Amino acid sequence: MQRRDQLFINGKWVAPHGNGKIDVIHSTTEAVMGTIPEGTARDAEDAIQAARAAFDSWSATPPAVRAEYIARIAKGLKARIEELAQLIVGEVGMPIKLARPLQVATPVYNWRLVARLLENFRFEEEVGNSLVVREPVGVVGAITPWNLPLNQITLKAAPALAAGCTVVLKPSEVAPLNAFVLAEVIEAAGLPPGVFNLVTGYGPVVGEVLASHPDVDMVSFTGSTRAGKRVSELAAQTVKRVALELGGKSAAVILDDADLAAAVKGTIDACFLNSGQICSAHSRMLVPRDRYDEVKAIALKVVGGFTVGDPLQDTSLGPLVSAVQRDRVTSYIRRGLAEGAELVAGGPETPEGLDQGFFVKPTVLGNVAPGATVAQEEIFGPVLSIICYDTEEDAVRIANDSIYGLAGGVWSGDEARAIRVARRIRTGQVDINGGPFNMQAPYGGYKQSGNGRELGRYGLEEYLEYKSLQLKRPAA
């Protein structure tokens, strides 16, 4: 049981202005595993003012010195990997064997990567008679989600700090305990007061202050498209920069010459990771109509290999994050069946023997119409929709028939053909034949999946402004 009763503002742990507390619920036991402060608008304003006061000094700090701080943060997080993994397993439900590498080791890698980027990053260059310089945006409000909590914080805080920005973080109130550990690590690393601030609370209070406050120069948000629209609306009043990483309904296109077994398994794995609680989940599988029966048989066998249960044991799928999320996902499964989908595997019933915890059966729905609710709306759970197509042109049309454009996949025996099809899919990233995720490549979406990019140097560039210094040169 972790009781956190202070916020981290201006380099100190301080009492919040209000008395409200928020319970953090364990996703497997349904017990209260911790409490955090319910931050107020005044707390958010205090943090913003601390960040504003720290900005001039931090932005003038040499990149090499900023890199040293960031490397120390990476080292501090590495020393607490097991503690963080256990925390996030409780908060989110990802099995421990995946939580260690994905929920904690990946953020450690990304802090290190950002520190290394500063070694050779060009903050200025001469273009004709101009000196073009890159300068930090300013004070950044970072609003992060619960599904990959520490990593999503990292993808905002690390590059923002590296760029010379100061940060006010509002983590998800559903999975916030890991953010307190990060704040402790940052404190131990000796980051100057006000450079990083942590305020917990609810989006309509703390989040809206960050999005609307005139002293916040940029807001970076990851979460639902609905909430992202609200952030954009508020931010527009002060014309601040906005970066959004929002929802997805990604399609994996399996072409007629693909290795069917590998493609079906790879797509299911990409859909069910973290119990489907991944915005880039490949939740639509597009298959040739004349191969549908083969696909069903393979999918049934693959899903049968998933074990659902206690994430601290040797399981493939843990619970969903909350009762609200569990009920939302099972209602989508029922809706899909009511709209005519075939139940290939799983279903809306509680998995046998798992009455405690927010568990959902890994589910595959077959013969889903492209316009069906489950084919159009983000479910954020372990639910895969199989959609049949007749031609390659048809497959591309269906893949693009979405308000989203975050991720996807193409499977083919001919890589050149797969790349040709991938170029036609309007989405921020496409895996070719199961190509692995690259943390140095840009990540972000088209359409209502958001704007801006994270990861690698592309993520660092999000937090920089261009300035042109026009120099008067002697006449030739």
DSSP β-ladder status, 166-170 and 124-127: unpaired
- 182-235 pLDDT, tens digit per residue, is 999 999 999 999 999 999 999 999 999 999 999 999 999 999 999 999 999 999
Question: Do 106 and 181 belong to one domain?
Answer: yes
Residue with token string 């970076």: 220
- Position 476 pLDDT exceeds 70: no
In this structure, what CATH number is given to the domain that contains residue 427?
Answer: 3.40.309.10
Question: Do 240 and 257 belong to one domain?
Answer: no
- What residues contact residue 314 under an 8 Å CB cut-off, 6+ apart? 97, 307
Of the candidates 425, 382, 451, which has an alpha carbon nearest to the alpha carbon of residue 225?
Answer: 451
- Mean pLDDT rounded to a whole number for the chain: 97
Residue 21 within any structural domain of the chain: yes
**Can you give the residue range of the structural domain that contains 48?**
2-246+449-468
How many domains does the chain fold into? Answer: 2
- 136-179 pLDDT, tens digit per residue, is 999 999 999 999 999 999 999 999 999 999 999 999 999 999 99
Question: Do 275 and 371 belong to one domain?
Answer: yes
The Cα–Cα gap between 378 and 162 comes to: 33
In this structure, what CATH number is given to the domain that contains residue 189?
Answer: 3.40.605.10
Alpha-carbon separation of residue 396 from 114, 252, 313, 400, 422 (angstroms): 36, 10, 40, 6, 9
Read off the pLDDT band of 473 (50, 70, 90). Answer: confident
Q: Quick one: what percent of the chain has pLDDT higher than 70?
A: 100
Residue 167 within any structural domain of the chain: yes
Find out whether 73 and 111 touch, Cβ atoms under 8 Å.
Answer: yes
Question: Do 219 and 261 belong to one domain?
Answer: no
- Position 475 pLDDT exceeds 80: no
Question: Do 223 and 323 belong to one domain?
Answer: no
Residue 444 within any structural domain of the chain: no
Find out whether 225 and 249 touch, Cβ atoms under 8 Å.
Answer: no
Read off the pLDDT band of 344 (50, 70, 90). Answer: very high
- Count of Cβ atoms closer than 10 Å to residue 277 Cβ: 24
Question: Do 296 and 317 belong to one domain?
Answer: yes
Q: Tell me the backbone φ, ψ of residue 13, rounded to 5 degrees.
A: -85, 120
Residue 374 within any structural domain of the chain: yes
Question: Do 10 and 138 belong to one domain?
Answer: yes
The Cα–Cα gap between 416 and 452 comes to: 28
- Position 255 pLDDT exceeds 70: yes
Residue 476 within any structural domain of the chain: no
pTM value surpassing 0.75: yes
The pLDDT assigned to 315 comes to: 95
| Catalytic-residue membership of 388 | no
As a whole number, mean pLDDT of residues 31-46 equals: 98
Read off the pLDDT band of 378 (50, 70, 90). Answer: very high
In the structure encoding, which two tokens stand for residue 43, read together? 């707390």
Question: Do 292 and 165 belong to one domain?
Answer: no
Between helix 81-92 and helix 149-163 the angle, nearest 10°, is: 120
Question: Do 434 and 460 belong to one domain?
Answer: no
In the structure encoding, which two tokens stand for residue 39, read together? 């931050």
The Cα–Cα gap between 306 and 299 comes to: 11
Q: Quick one: what percent of the chain has pLDDT higher than 90?
A: 99
Question: Do 230 and 347 belong to one domain?
Answer: no
Question: Do 258 and 335 belong to one domain?
Answer: yes
The Cα–Cα gap between 26 and 191 comes to: 32
- 232-248 pLDDT, tens digit per residue, is 999 999 999 999 999 99
- Position 411 pLDDT exceeds 80: yes
- Identify residue 461 by its one-letter amino acid code: E
Residue 473 within any structural domain of the chain: no
- Position 51 pLDDT exceeds 90: yes
Question: Do 229 and 330 belong to one domain?
Answer: no
- Position 396 pLDDT exceeds 80: yes
**Size of the chain, expressed as the number of residues it contains:** 476
The Cα–Cα gap between 426 and 7 comes to: 41
Q: Which of 45, 279, 454, 462 is catalytic?
A: 279
| Catalytic-residue membership of 342 | no
3-state secondary structure of 252: strand
Say which DSSP state 31 is in: S
- Position 135 pLDDT exceeds 70: yes
Q: Which of 245, 378, 454, 462 is catalytic?
A: 245
Residue 360 within any structural domain of the chain: yes
Of the candidates 39, 38, 444, which has an alpha carbon nearest to the alpha carbon of residue 242?
Answer: 444
24 forms bridges with which residues in the sheet?
A: 34
